Structure 1
Amino acid sequence: MEQLVGTGVALVTPFKNDFSVDVPALERIVEHCVHGGIDYLVALGTTAESATLSKADKQLVIDVIVRANAGRLPLVLGIGGNNTAAVVEEVSQTDLSDFDAILSVSPYYNRPTQEGIYQHFKAIAQASPKPIVMYNVPARTGSNMLPETTLRLAKDFNNIVAIKEACGDMIQIDEILKDKPEDFMVISGDDFTALPTVLAGGSGVISVLGQGLPTSFSKMIRLGINNDSDEAYQLHHALQPLMQLIFEEGNPAGIKSIFESLGLGSAVVRLPLVEATPRLKSKIADFLKSFDKVYA
């Protein structure tokens, strides 16, 4: 799927001080990404705080992103969970006409075996009218989807087109790249491994930081795809301190602090997450000022 090559971003859900969805802020963030050179947008991923959004909130977020994007960039919709039957039902009942693919996380909390993970994605693949990007994020799910499971699913189902791999382990990522079907895509799910994954043969990234600094981040990935590793690593090393800062107190507290500094949205998050501390906000704001002087 050419639509998913390059830099995708897992959009935040901006909130007002009363914790309701901030529609104008979400519109500004979409515009910021489009004009910054992002290649596609992901709605209702983990970074969107989808776990604390009501059904009405989720529909509002979808409607705002679709309207603000206005057909300019490909769209991916997050639909996942640890109840396979419920995920299948949601996939079957959701209007996916505006979306190019769905992103579905490996089942969390239940800690299924590799066979259980396989059967979970098999059920989704059989129900989905759209291509599926699987999402492996062991730090959040409590289990690691092993390369043999990923490759088995990639070979068995034509509509499973990619893996968003956030294991943080380049050895595991290389195992998938080495044996994957030719048209199966390996997408980094970590900002830290985005460039190494691309240089090893991956298709790009679904980024958190990319929505905050879209121009620089998407340029880094384009350079990587074109095998211009020297200039790409210059940007990677320049951005690396901010990659660390935005995850220091959890996601999306850090990236929302960037949007607060940029005047695009507030830093408000919903419990059980809490807003970034003044100390972290100050460090992020100082970094953005110094970075802007060099890369603006």
Structure 2
Amino acid sequence: MTLPAPLSGVVPPVCTPLTPDGEVDVPSLLRLVDHLVAGGVHGLFLLGSTSEAAYLTDLQRRLVVEAVVGHVGGQLPVLAGAIDMTTPRVLDNVREVTTAGALAVVVTAPFYTRTHPAEIGRHYRRVAAVCPVPVLAYDIPVSVHTKLPAELVLELAADGVLAGLKDSSGDLGGFREVVTGVRGRPDLGGFSVLTGSEVVVDAALALGADGAVPGLANVDPHGYVRLDRLFRAGDRDAARGEQERLCALFRMVGVGDPARMGRNSSAIGAFKAALHLRGVIDCPLTAEPQIPLSAEEVERVGKFLAAAGLL
């Protein structure tokens, strides 16, 4: 299998189920993959933010990719994050995930210190020069402290460095600039533009996005696939209605008490609690040092699922 150009549809950033002692729970991971495949998704993105990649060891990261690639057997394209602080460390990750079978890698700008656009450009060019598979940029300024400039993304796309963009910046104006720039260039017709937002997928598609990488699709893949299908069929009113249902479900990410945990603990904890309540994974544990949801918070997740017709 090769990566579609452009990649389109719903490509969930797959959660990484853990055992009670913090190891990768491979049987639960494969059940989750089966759940997503049954939901009709169009690809799988491993080792992103929703996958808790930043909290996993190098061995755990490789195990995730090997297990999923071996399980799906070419049914769907599998992308993997090669996300780390510096170019040399990203190159190490690229080698590991591509050896494990990933069809494309997803790479952020370098982080820890703020980087200049010229440094970001050098980073992506160095990665693409040695990477045996397509490279997609991952724009997530909340985590890497740097917003990818639209003009840089388009320059790297035109030079064949980048094959696509996953935009989790929340900047619809910047996203539109990339989409418009790509659509105005016939030679960039294979460049994939994907939104990482759960709550504006219909708006992103209306702007010309190729697809979405929503973390909530772990919980409700059928809903996002239905939204994508309705929009492409031209039924925008029905697509908007489905988006609004998913927006209501997405409010589960706020169940965690902000006085004792961060938003990431709450959001990933809610996704995993929902998957546990739905019988997909065995344990809702999040990786250290994230704080687990309380029993009362898990109960609130269950109410969101019930309201959405998922429990």
Normalised TM-score (structure 1): 0.93
8 Å CA contact retained: 2:65, 2:97: no
Q: Root-mean-square deviation (CA), in Å?
A: 1.9
Deviations 1:31-61 (A, max 9, x none): 0000111110111112211122122212221
The aligned residue for residue 223 of structure 1 is 230
8 Å CA contact retained: 2:13, 2:47: yes
> What is the deviation of 1:29?
0.2
Q: Secondary structure at the match of 1:186?
A: strand
Percent identity reads: 25
Which residue of 157, 165, 172 corresponds with 1:163? 165
* Structure 1 residue ranges (4+ consecutive) displaced by more than 4 angstroms after TM superposition: none
Q: Secondary structure at the match of 2:213?
A: strand
8 Å CA contact retained: 1:23, 1:64: yes
Rounded to whole Å, the distance in 2 between the matches of 1:4 and 1:182 is 11
The aligned residue for residue 249 of structure 2 is 242
The aligned residue for residue 210 of structure 2 is 203
Residue 270 (1) aligns with residue 277 (2): no
Residue 8 (1) aligns with residue 11 (2): yes
The aligned residue for residue 239 of structure 2 is 232
8 Å CA contact retained: 2:43, 2:78: yes
Rounded to whole Å, the distance in 2 between the matches of 1:174 and 1:10 is 22
Q: Secondary structure at the match of 1:103?
A: strand
Alignment gaps of 5+ in structure 1: none
Rounded to whole Å, the distance in 2 between the matches of 1:126 and 1:236 is 39
Rounded to whole Å, the distance in 2 between the matches of 1:238 and 1:285 is 16
> What is the deviation of 1:87?
1.4
8 Å CA contact retained: 1:41, 1:75: yes
The aligned residue for residue 272 of structure 2 is 256
Which residue of 264, 288, 291 corresponds with 2:305? 288
Alignment gaps of 5+ in structure 2: 183-187, 256-262
> What is the deviation of 1:2?
4.2
Normalised TM-score (structure 2): 0.88
Q: 1:117 to 1:273 in 2, by over 3 A?
A: same
Rounded to whole Å, the distance in 2 between the matches of 1:196 and 1:147 is 19
Amino acid at match of 1:203: D
Rounded to whole Å, the distance in 1 between the matches of 2:75 and 2:215 is 20
Q: 1:67 to 1:227 in 2, by over 3 A?
A: same
Deviations 1:74-118 (A, max 9, x none): 111111222112212432455447322111112222210111111
Q: 1:261 to 1:93 in 2, by over 3 A?
A: closer
Residue 213 (1) aligns with residue 220 (2): yes
8 Å CA contact retained: 2:106, 2:135: yes
Rounded to whole Å, the distance in 2 between the matches of 1:10 and 1:277 is 25
Which residue of 55, 60, 66 corresponds with 2:58? 55
Aligned residues: 293
> What is the deviation of 1:247?
5.4
The aligned residue for residue 136 of structure 2 is 133
Q: Which moved more, 1:94-103 or 1:36-45?
A: 94-103
